[in-house]
Amino acid sequence: MIRLDPSLSKSERISVIATWIAALLVILFLMAPIITIVPLSFTSDSLLSYPIPDWSLRWYEVLFGSDMWMRALWNSLYIAFFATILAMILGTVASVGLTSPNFPFKGAVMGLLLTPMIVPIIITAVASYFFYAKLGLTNSYLGMILAHALLGTPFVVITVTATLLGFDSNQVRAAYSLGCKPIPTFFKIVVPQIQPGIISGGLFAFVTSFDEVIVALFMAGTEQFTLPRQMFAGIRENIDPTIAAVASVMILISLILLLGIQWVTARSEKLKAGKT
């Protein structure tokens, strides 16, 4: 696995091997907590410690039998789904405009549209809390969806503008000259080619919402509690193996999303490779 260049001197080899060992240890550090928490969710004990006395699905039964957790899971999926759709639509449409050579003040506007990603979320959360309260939108699904969509739009803008840069706009001209109207052209010519960008932007937006807790802390009423919000309460209150079970479920979901992104990127690279 380590390809040691035969021209390297002995001391260089040692430093290369040392770097590898360091890197592997760091990756172990990155994986360790995730590896540790999953088995704990299958314990039969009510304590979160090793060794695990007996394996059981007890905590998953608690989890899937609990109204509170199921509601939180449903809320998370529901809010993330609609926030993603909203972010995808707004972000994609804006990206098409932003990449037009006729768009004025591109840099400044782009910078502005990306600010939700840069401003610390605590500031966004507190500001939204006061603002949405005035509109009567705190403690509502709509409020959560709007707030999460906002956090997701920069990712869509980044990924879609990136794919649009590689898009050959002569195709649009060709379509127009063949009599195709702008909106069908957009859906028939542009969207299929920038689809990977839209999808990966959407996945980023989905994860952002699905994992978001600070805005939920301020804005969500009891009815809208999401999985992370409920987990936050659980961690502060009482870390029991149910938390480990929720964590494992969330790890599974992020694994699926990660594979989704990898698949999309691989596919778009294949597309690009096929084109040249």
Partner 1 sequence: MAASSQTAPLTDSSQPHVGFDPKKLKAQVRTAERRKTLRALALVAPLFLFVLVFFLFPIGSLLERSVNSPEFVTIFPQSAAILHKSDNLKTLDEQAFYGTLFEELQIAAKERSFGPVGRRLNQDVTGFISLFKKTARKIKKEKQRPADAKAWFLSQNENWGNPTYLHAMKRASSAWTDFYMLTALDLQRSDGGSIIAVEDEKALFVDILIRTMEISLGVTLICVILGYPVAWVLAHTTDTMRNILLIGVLFPFWTSLLVRTAAWIIVLQKEGPINSMLQSLHIIDEPLQLVFNRFGVYVALTHILLPFLVLPLYSVMKAIPNDYMRAAKSLGAKPWIAFIRVYLPQSLPGLSAGAILVFILSIGYYITPALVGGPKDQMISYFIAFYTNNTINWGLASALAFILLVVTLVFYALYQRVTGGKAGMGV
Partner 2 sequence: MRKSFLAAGTALLALSAFTIATHARDLTIVSWGGAYQDAQREAYFAPFAKASGNKILDEAYNGETAKIKAMVETNNVTWDVVQMEAPELENSCDEGLLEVINWEKLGGKDTVIDPAIIGECGVGTILWSVILAYDSEKLGQEGPKSWADMWNVEKWPGKRALRKTAKFTLEIALMADGVAADKVYETLATKEGVDRAFKKLDEIKEHIQWWESGAQPPQWLASGDVVMTTAYNGRISKANDEGRKFNTSWNGQIYALDGWAIVKGSDNADKAYDFIKSATQPQAQAQLSAKIPYGPTHKDAVAAADEKTQKRLPSNPDYLKGALASSTDFWVENVEDLNQRFNNWASQ
Cα–Cα distance, 151 to 173 (Å, whole number): 34
Q: Which residues in the 161-200 window bind partner 1 by CB under 8 A?
A: 162, 173, 176-177, 181-183
**Residue 188 site contact among partner 2, partner 1, none (CB < 5 to 8 Å, cut-off depends on kind):** partner 2
Q: Kindly tell me which residue out of 139, 193, 254, 265 binds partner 2, with binding defined by CB under 8 A.
A: 139
Q: Kindly tell me which residue out of 57, 70, 191, 255 binds partner 1, with binding defined by CB under 8 A.
A: 255
Q: Which residues in the 45-104 window bind partner 1 by CB under 8 A?
A: 47-50, 90-91, 93-94, 96-98, 100, 102-104
**Residue 214 site contact among partner 2, partner 1, none (CB < 5 to 8 Å, cut-off depends on kind):** partner 1
Number of residues that bind partner 1 (CB under 8 A): 95
Picking from 26, 190, 169, the residue whose alpha carbon sits closest to that of residue 92 is 190
Number of residues that bind partner 2 (CB under 8 A): 30
Least distance from C-beta 54 to partner 1, angstroms?
18
**Residue 271 site contact among partner 2, partner 1, none (CB < 5 to 8 Å, cut-off depends on kind):** none
Phi, psi angles (nearest 5°) of residue 248: -65, -40
**Residue 103 site contact among partner 1, partner 2, none (CB < 5 to 8 Å, cut-off depends on kind):** partner 1
Q: Which residues in the 59-118 window bind partner 2 by CB under 8 A?
A: 82, 85-86, 89
Site string for partner 1, 195-234 (x = CB under 8 A): ------------x--xx-xx--xx---------x--xx--
Please tell me whether residue 130 binds partner 2 under the rule CB under 8 A. yes
**Residue 113 site contact among partner 1, partner 2, none (CB < 5 to 8 Å, cut-off depends on kind):** partner 1
Q: Which residues in the 111-140 window bind partner 1 by CB under 8 A?
A: 112-113, 115-116, 118-124, 126-132
Q: Which residues in the 172-191 window bind partner 2 by CB under 8 A?
A: 184, 187-188, 191
Strand partners, 43: 55
Residue 146 · residue 137 · CB < 8 Å: yes
**Cis, bond preceding 101 (omega within 30 deg of 0):** no
- Please give the residue ranges that form the binding site for partner 2 (CB under 8 A): 46-47, 49, 82, 85-86, 89, 130, 133-134, 136, 138-142, 145, 184, 187-188, 191-192, 221-223, 233, 236-239
